Amino acid sequence: MTAGGREVSQHQLDEVANELLTVAGKSGVWMLHGEMGAGKTTLVKAIGRSLGVTETMSSPTFALVNEYRRGDGGKLIHFDLYRLKNEHEIADIGATEYFDSGELCLVEWPEKLGTLSPLHSFHVRIQVTAPHLRKIEYEFQS
């Protein structure tokens, strides 16, 4: 199992995004853990920049899922499950189909997935350590 982490400022997020992509690759399901305001969406935007996304990226809190075209022609699919109440609602947005698509899926609030959680995924944990610092840890889980 590959695991790692470090404390970073917001100015280092592009560097962190590149590091995470090197470790986990440009496909698969990434579970983004962290409290409200920890910086999950900010990290997603940095990952998008690293992948050549040129569109304006925003939180899918109300849309639930946003798709972005990457510079290499693939897709970055960003989920925000915060407002969903149960696995049935998550299934209704097609989450498992996206997870099986081979594209890069970034999931905020993954604890809401329950039994829909894929067997193999890359977990990124973001913890606020100071007003402008975050501890970012990652690991693969099977």
Tally of CB atoms within 10 A around 41: 20
Range of the domain at 119: 3-141
CATH number at residue 73: 3.40.50.300
Number of domains in the chain: 1
- Position 132, amino acid: H
Q: What band does 61 get if pLDDT is binned at 50, 70 and 90?
A: low
What per-residue confidence (pLDDT) applies to 2?
59
Dist. CA 78–CA 75, nearest whole Å:
10
Q: What percent of the chain has pLDDT over 70?
A: 97
86-139 residue pLDDT tens: 999 999 999 999 999 999 999 999 999 999 999 899 999 999 999 999 999 999
Q: Note every long-range contact of 71-77, with CB atoms under 8 Å and residues 24 or more positions apart, other chains counting.
A: 72/26, 74/26, 74/27, 74/103, 74/104, 75/101, 75/103, 75/104, 76/44, 76/47, 76/48, 76/51, 76/103, 76/104, 76/106, 77/101, 77/103, 77/104, 77/105, 77/106
Predicted TM-score (pTM) of this structure: 0.92
* Mean pLDDT taken over the chain: 92
For 96-141, the DSSP string reads HHHHTTSSEEEEESGGGGGGGS-SSEEEEEEEEEETTEEEEEEEEE
